[in-house]
Chains A and B, each alone.
Chain A
Amino acid sequence: MSLSFWLGILQQGFFFGIMVLGIYLTFRVLDYADLTVEGSFTLGAAVVSQAIVNGYNPLIGTLMAILAGAIAGTVTGLFHTKLKITPLLSGILTMTALYSINLRVMGGKANISLLRQDTLITYLQSWGLSKDAASLALGLFTITLLIFLLNYFLKTEIGLALRATGDNEQMIKSLGVNTDTAKIFGLAISNALVALAGAEVAQFNNFADVNMGIGMIVVGLASVIIGEVLYGLENFPGILISVVLGSVVYRLVIGVVLLFGLPATDLRLVSSLLVVLALASPRIKSRLKLTA
Chain B
Amino acid sequence: MLIIKNLNKTFFPGEVNEKKALCNINYHFFKGDFVTIIGGNGAGKSTLLNCIAGVYIPDTGSVLLDDEDITNIPEYKRAGKIARVFQDPLKGTAASMTLEENLVMALKRGQKRSLRKAIKEKEVKLFRERLAVLGLGLENRLKDKVGLLSGGQRQALTLLMATLQKPDLLLLDEHTAALDPQTANKVMQLTDWLVQEFKLTTLMVTHNLEQAIKYGNKIIMMDRGSIILDLNGKEKKEITVTKLMERFARCSGNSITNDRMLLSKWANVS
| A and B associate in one complex | yes
Query: Which of B83, B94, B109, B116 meets A163, CB within 8 Å?
Result: B94
**Contact yes or no, A175 B106, CB < 8 A:** yes
B221 to chain A, nearest CB (A): 26
Query: Which of A153, A158, A167, A178 meets B94, CB within 8 Å?
Result: A167
Contacts of B111 in A (CB 8 A): 176
Contacts of A161 in B (CB 8 A): 105, 113
**Contact yes or no, A155 B94, CB < 8 A:** no
**Contact yes or no, B94 A171, CB < 8 A:** yes
Taking A160-B104, A163-B94, A171-B93 as contacts, is the C-beta distance between A176 and B109 under 8 angstroms?
A: yes
Chain B interface category by residue count: 20 to 34
**Contact yes or no, A155 B118, CB < 8 A:** yes
**Contact yes or no, A160 B86, CB < 8 A:** no
Query: Which of A160, A175, A234 meets B109, CB within 8 Å?
Result: A175
A264 to chain B, nearest CB (A): 38
Within 8 A of B (CB), among A140-186: 152-153, 155-161, 163-164, 167-168, 170-179
Contact code string B252-264 (vs A, CB < 8 Å = 1, else 0): 0000000000000
Which of B30-38, B74-82, B187-195, B228-236 touches A?
A: B74-82
Measured CA separation A153–B115 after assembly (Å): 7
Contacts of A163 in B (CB 8 A): 94, 96-97, 101
Output the nearest chain A residue to B112 by Cβ-Cβ distance: A157
Asked whether any CB of chain A lies closer than 8 Å to the CB of B58, the reply is no
Query: Which of B101, B114, B119 meets A158, CB within 8 Å?
Result: B114
Contacts of B250 in A (CB 8 A): none
**Contact yes or no, B76 A168, CB < 8 A:** no
**Contact yes or no, A176 B80, CB < 8 A:** yes
Contacts of A171 in B (CB 8 A): 91-94
B164 to chain A, nearest CB (A): 10
Query: Which of A167, A174, A178 meets B97, CB within 8 Å?
Result: A167
Measured CA separation A156–B119 after assembly (Å): 8
Output the nearest chain A residue to B78 by Cβ-Cβ distance: A176
Give the A-B pair count, Cβ closer than 8 A: 85
Measured CA separation A54–B243 after assembly (Å): 85
Measured CA separation A158–B83 after assembly (Å): 20
Within 8 A of A (CB), among B101-129: 101, 104-106, 108-111, 113-119
**Contact yes or no, B96 A174, CB < 8 A:** no
**Contact yes or no, A160 B106, CB < 8 A:** no
Output the nearest chain B residue to A181 by Cβ-Cβ distance: B76
**Contact yes or no, A168 B79, CB < 8 A:** no
Asked whether any CB of chain A lies closer than 8 Å to the CB of B63, the reply is no
Contacts of B169 in A (CB 8 A): none
Contacts of B101 in A (CB 8 A): 160, 163
**Contact yes or no, A177 B115, CB < 8 A:** no
Measured CA separation A177–B74 after assembly (Å): 11
B246 to chain A, nearest CB (A): 37
Taking A153-B115, A171-B91, A177-B113 as contacts, is the C-beta distance between A160 and B76 under 8 angstroms?
A: no
A134 to chain B, nearest CB (A): 32
Output the nearest chain A residue to B171 by Cβ-Cβ distance: A174
Contacts of B91 in A (CB 8 A): 168, 170-171
**Contact yes or no, B94 A164, CB < 8 A:** yes
Measured CA separation A172–B97 after assembly (Å): 12
Contacts of B109 in A (CB 8 A): 175-176
**Contact yes or no, A167 B95, CB < 8 A:** yes
B57 to chain A, nearest CB (A): 15
Measured CA separation A168–B84 after assembly (Å): 14
**Contact yes or no, A155 B119, CB < 8 A:** yes
Query: Which of A152, A153, A160, A234 meets B105, CB within 8 Å?
Result: A160
Measured CA separation A160–B118 after assembly (Å): 8
Query: Which of A157, A159, A170 meets B108, CB within 8 Å?
Result: A157
Measured CA separation A176–B111 after assembly (Å): 7
Asked whether any CB of chain A lies closer than 8 Å to the CB of B204, the reply is no
A169 to chain B, nearest CB (A): 10
Contacts of A155 in B (CB 8 A): 117-119
Asked whether any CB of chain A lies closer than 8 Å to the CB of B65, the reply is no
Taking A164-B94, A164-B97 as contacts, is the C-beta distance between A175 and B117 under 8 angstroms?
A: no
Asked whether any CB of chain A lies closer than 8 Å to the CB of B52, the reply is no
Output the nearest chain A residue to B113 by Cβ-Cβ distance: A157
Measured CA separation A152–B108 after assembly (Å): 18
Give 28 A-B contacts (CB < 8 Å), ordered by A residue. A157-B104, A157-B116, A158-B113, A158-B114, A160-B97, A160-B118, A161-B105, A163-B94, A163-B96, A163-B97, A164-B94, A164-B97, A167-B94, A167-B97, A168-B93, A170-B86, A171-B92, A171-B94, A172-B105, A173-B76, A173-B79, A174-B83, A175-B108, A176-B77, A176-B79, A176-B110, A176-B111, A179-B76
Sorted from nearest, which 5 A-B pairs have the closest CB atoms? Answer: A176-B79, A157-B113, A167-B94, A176-B110, A168-B94
Q: Which residues of B contact A (CB under 8 A)?
A: 53, 74-77, 79-80, 83-84, 86, 90-97, 101, 104-106, 108-111, 113-119, 145
Q: A158-B114, A160-B118 are in contact. List 12 more A-B contacts (CB 8 A).
A: A157-B104, A157-B118, A163-B94, A168-B91, A168-B93, A171-B91, A171-B94, A172-B94, A176-B77, A176-B80, A177-B79, A179-B76
